[in-house]
Amino acid sequence: MLTCFELSKKYSSGCRQTVAVNLASEHFVENTAHVIRGKSGSGKTTLLRLLAGLEVPSSGSLNFKNIDMRNLNERENAELRRKYFGFIFQDYRLMPRLTVFDNIALPLMMNDISNIKTKVEKIASELEIFSTLKKYPYELSGGQQQRVAIARAVIHDPLVVFADEPTGNLDEATASMVTNYLFDCTVASKKMLILVTHDTTFKMPNHLPYLMRDGKLSRVEDEQVS
């Protein structure tokens, strides 16, 4: 469903050039959780943003559903992301002037999906944030904000969910609940999850493991994945 070939991202500052992603090539398939581990600064978040169309690659190709994403203009790229992708940001990116309810409901409104109240209340209950729906982001803990961000990312039933450290601010029990929830609403529903984490102990059933190191992506063949 999503394929990148020799995808690279370089940043220049004066005479200095930094290669954040170096010739990444992979075919990401549906009904699968792709878990990319790597240390801070390894390039994993940049790769995630490239795959989601949030950043423009310096070179290489990126195809989604046989669409060459590098040939899309800004409007077409935004429309593709709005319809097919969900993104969980490490820093949440919640709208501070909107209630939790409205933050979660945004993708439904943007995609003109009906039964908004029912869908928001259902997903909020599943993620144990129903009691926060009338609150604003600044009134929530970091863990609650993270779950609001997750709800917003998956509520419109996207084909691909991109997750940047989705359990980084959660206690062990809540992290386990969120991990299982992400698996159920992506892989178990025949969708795709691409998740990056620096946590070497992160566990998810039946995932494909990868390692990001110095901008290079590699498949970890000998890891126990189930």
pLDDT at 222: 55
Identify whether the C-beta of residue 194 lies closer than 8 Å to the C-beta of residue 161: yes
pLDDT at 224: 45
pLDDT at 221: 76
**Nearest of 98, 9, 101 to residue 46 by alpha carbon:** 9
Residue type, 134: K
Tokens 């039933």 belong to 157
Tokens 């004066």 belong to 14
The tens place of each residue's pLDDT in the chain, 226 residues long, gives 899 999 999 998 877 889 999 999 999 999 999 999 999 999 999 999 999 999 999 999 999 999 999 999 999 999 999 999 999 998 999 999 999 999 999 999 999 999 999 999 999 999 999 999 999 999 999 999 999 999 999 999 999 999 999 988 788 888 899 999 999 999 889 999 999 999 887 878 889 999 999 999 999 975 544 4
pLDDT at 223: 54
Q: Residue 216: how many CB atoms within 10 A of its CB?
A: 16
Domain boundary assignment for the chain: 29-53+77-219
Which pTM value belongs to this model? 0.93
Identify whether the C-beta of residue 80 lies closer than 8 Å to the C-beta of residue 53: yes
pLDDT at 144: 94
What is the CATH code for 29-53+77-219?
3.40.50.300
pLDDT at 225: 43
pLDDT at 13: 80
pLDDT at 199: 87
Q: Residue 111: how many CB atoms within 10 A of its CB?
A: 13
Rounded Cα distance between 45 and 47, Å, is 5
Rounded Cα distance between 148 and 133, Å, is 9
Identify whether the C-beta of residue 174 lies closer than 8 Å to the C-beta of residue 206: no
Distant-in-sequence contacts of 119-124, Cβ < 8 A, 24+ apart: 119/155, 120/151, 120/155, 123/151, 123/154, 123/155, 124/100, 124/151
**Nearest of 88, 2, 1 to residue 45 by alpha carbon:** 88
